């Protein structure tokens, strides 16, 4: 199986602190992966590197069949290439309606002049309504997204990710601050998404990770400590020592 994303030997240092240390990571084109690890293990920094926010000191990040080098691309270009990201705290445009939020994320030309003359076609409106249905916000399309509950904002952000139709989704702590029922809905959304694309979920909550039923990568001090099924890694003595045992 060829890899969609291949990170090899990446290191990054912030003011002498080595946040990522010779990290290597691969994911296939229709795969779900959970990344767990203690605070400061480099989970968010890893996402920053893949999405172009942080430039690593060394290493390679290769993308897709044509093995493009992501390190040479701007954030916007990386997003256009098909990498979507959901942040830890829900970041939606609170001043704008749910519909506008989703419309902005829809896969359409991104350059200023085409956007200036762009008006939603019927298929765009249909797509937005279908997405809203999927994330349980069909009744809230006209509402300002700032009025939504915390859980609904998280879903809206996942909906915006899906609207981008990325080939790789990077999801940072999707279940934080959600009720039990909301978590189940979120799990379903992510599992559905992983059928056709790669999904990387960073999560602290072991119960949530168990429900995702996927391969798990454990990060510690900026490099991979263990990889495999959840049962496999939780049986690993090193993992118990640095993460689970505390």
Partner 1 sequence: MRQSFIFRNPSLLIFLACLAGFTLAITLLSHAYGSAFISTSFVKTLGKTLCLCLVAIAMDLVWGYCGILSLGHFAFFGLGGYMIGMWLMYARTELIIVQSLANAPIPATPQELRDAIGTQIFGVVGSADFPAIWMFAHSFWAQMALVVLVPGLLALVFGWLAFRSRVTGVYLSILTQAMTLALSLYLFQNESGLRGNNGLSGLQNLPGVTASQDFISIWFLWASALALGLGYLLAAWVVSGKFGSVVRGIRDDEARVRFLGYSVEGYKLFIFTLTAIIAAIAGALYYPQAGIINPGEVAPIASIYLAVWVAIGGRGRLYGAVIGAALVSLVSTWFTGGLVPSIRLGFYTIDWVDWWLVLLGLSFVLVTLFAPKGIGGLVDLIAGRLVPNRHGADYGPDTGSLQESEGRE
List residues near partner 1 by CB under 8 A: 51, 53, 74-77, 79-80, 84-85, 87, 91, 93-97, 100, 103-105, 110-113, 115-116, 118-120, 125, 139-144, 147, 160, 164
**How far, in Å, CA of 65 to CA of 221, rounded?**
30
CB atoms within 10 A of CB 28: 12
Beta-carbon contacts of 129 under 8 Å, excluding residues fewer than 6 positions away, are 138, 141
CA 231 to chain centre: 23
Tell me whether residue 22 or residue 97 sits nearer to partner 1 (CB atom). 97
Tell me whether residue 14 or residue 118 sits nearer to partner 1 (CB atom). 118
Please tell me what DSSP assigns to residue 65.
T
Closest CA to 216 of 176, 181, 179, 244: 244
Query: How many residues can be counted in the chain?
Result: 246
Work out how close the CB of 163 gets to partner 1 at its nearest, in angstroms, rounded to a whole number: 9
**How far, in Å, CA of 213 to CA of 34, rounded?**
9
Distances (CA, A) of 110 to 23, 28, 83, 164: 32, 27, 15, 11
Work out how close the CB of 66 gets to partner 1 at its nearest, in angstroms, rounded to a whole number: 18
**How far, in Å, CA of 178 to CA of 73, rounded?**
34
Tell me whether residue 147 or residue 238 sits nearer to partner 1 (CB atom). 147
Tell me whether residue 111 or residue 180 sits nearer to partner 1 (CB atom). 111
Tell me whether residue 103 or residue 198 sits nearer to partner 1 (CB atom). 103
Tell me whether residue 76 or residue 235 sits nearer to partner 1 (CB atom). 76
Work out how close the CB of 95 gets to partner 1 at its nearest, in angstroms, rounded to a whole number: 6
Tell me whether residue 96 or residue 134 sits nearer to partner 1 (CB atom). 96
Task: Note whether 96 and 144 are within 8 A (CB).
Answer: yes
Distances (CA, A) of 133 to 1, 24, 99, 195: 34, 38, 12, 19
Tell me the three state secondary structure of residue 59.
strand
Closest CA to 43 of 161, 164, 171: 171
């Amino acid at each position: 199986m060829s890899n969609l994303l291949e990170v090899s030997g990446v290191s990054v240092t912030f003011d002498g602190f080595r946040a990522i240390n010779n990290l290597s990571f691969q994911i296939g084109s229709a795969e779900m992966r959970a990344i767990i690890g203690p605070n400061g293990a480099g989970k968010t920094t890893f996402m920053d590197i893949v999405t172009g926010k942080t430039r690593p000191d060394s290493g390679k990040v290769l993308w897709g069949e044509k093995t493009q080098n992501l390190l040479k691309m701007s954030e916007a270009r990386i997003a256009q290439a098909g990498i979507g990201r959901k942040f830890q705290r829900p970041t939606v445009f609170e001043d704008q309606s749910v519909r506008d939020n989703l419309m902005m994320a829809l896969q359409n030309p991104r350059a200023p002049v085409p956007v200036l003359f762009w008006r939603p076609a019927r298929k765009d409106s249909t797509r937005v309504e279908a997405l809203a249905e999927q994330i349980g916000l069909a009744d809230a399309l006209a509402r300002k997204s700032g009025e939504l509950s915390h859980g609904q904002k998280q879903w809206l952000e996942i909906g915006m990710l899906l609207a981008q139709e990325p080939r790789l989704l990077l999801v940072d702590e999707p279940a934080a601050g959600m009720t039990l029922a909301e978590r189940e809905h979120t799990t379903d959304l992510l599992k559905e998404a992983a059928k056709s694309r790669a999904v990387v979920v960073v999560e602290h909550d072991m119960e949530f990770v168990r429900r995702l039923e996927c391969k798990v990568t454990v990060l510690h001090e900026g490099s991979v400590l263990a990889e495999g099924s959840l049962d496999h890694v939780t049986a690993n003595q090193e993992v118990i020592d640095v993460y689970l045992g505390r």
